[in-house]
Amino acid sequence: MKKYAALLALLAFVSVLAAGLGTAAPQGTVMVKETNFKIIMAGTAKAGSTTFVVKNASNLPHDFAIKGPGVSKKTPKIKPGGTARLTVTLRKGKYQVWCSVSGHSSLGMKRTISAV
């Protein structure tokens, strides 16, 4: 009986976690958080169709641009607290990601990621 209660508690906890994330991130999804002035994300992504889910966690507008093998795309400007999605097809190799709002990349909003 005690085990059952523990299991129920665990299930409830997992449900809360899942709700907190909206839906569970499907394969090929990369979460990105933008602040003043950093792009926080994993340094590698899987080659193939990939959706970047970009959350602007700052008080300034930002966007998210990506350029590399076969890809040159960016989101519209994302307002503070907003989220944008950008779907691209990554090939194996290196990609530059940055914020194209004037001056932001030189303040630190740029990095290189690898598709593997």
Q: Which residues bind Cu ion (CB under 5 A)?
A: 62, 99, 101, 104, 109
**Residue 81 C-beta: closest distance to Cu ion, Å:** 14
Nearer to Cu ion, 54 or 101 (CB): 101
Burial zone of 108 (CB within 10 Å; 0-12 exposed, 13-18 middle, 19+ buried): middle
Identify the bridge partners of residue 83 per DSSP, sorted by sequence position: 55
**Residue 43 C-beta: closest distance to Cu ion, Å:** 19
Q: Provide Rg for the chain, Cα atoms.
A: 17
Nearer to Cu ion, 70 or 80 (CB): 80
**Residue 92 C-beta: closest distance to Cu ion, Å:** 28
The contacts of residue 66 (CB under 8 Å, 6+ apart) are: 52, 72, 73, 74, 86, 88, 95, 96, 97
Tally of residues, the chain:
116
Nearer to Cu ion, 70 or 81 (CB): 81
Nearer to Cu ion, 11 or 107 (CB): 107
**Residue 61 C-beta: closest distance to Cu ion, Å:** 7
